[in-house]
Structure 1
Amino acid sequence: MFIEGSYYHPTFLYESLWNLMVFFILIYLLKRKSKDGVVLATYIGMYSLARFFIEGLRTDSLMFGPIRIAQLVSLIGILAAIVILVIIKRRRE
């Protein structure tokens, strides 16, 4: 996008397309009758993964040293999703 003499990434478009893909993945997991918590953990992980990369393209984000606050929160979401999925998998065994 070209706005006021500068090029910007259409992050809203990237996020919308990513969320549409995540929607279909979650529907697939629901139809497979996944274990309790798998769909939620998958959503948290995939949403956080997208936010981590998309926030890197934004120009108006709040910074904490070399990393954006939203990216830091996204990393926490990714780690939380991984922990939840590992716990669910171990309970299955």
Structure 2
Amino acid sequence: MSELISEQILARLKKEAGETGRPEQRLATLERLVEACNAVADGSALSLMQKGNPAAEAHFRRRWVSIVPPRIEDYVIARRALDLLARAQN
């Protein structure tokens, strides 16, 4: 089975991140980006929006949500809000 272009790009980015300064931080950023893209692609981001970024929820109700910077930003805002809420409750 052939590797997807996105997998090739990610592999290249991870390789480059490992060869530059602060590889741990760069790799962690890439992992967060992959998490966000996967959540948008598989539809699981909708429940996150409902809890952490209701203003953006409408963008995630469609059957297909494009993986574009504004949707990734919506995901990041929701994830940050829920993480802050969880920390405040502990």
Whether the TM-score (by the shorter chain) exceeds 0.5 is no
More helix by share: 2
Higher RCO structure, 1 or 2 (CA under 8 Å, sep 6+):
1
Bigger radius of gyration among the two: 1
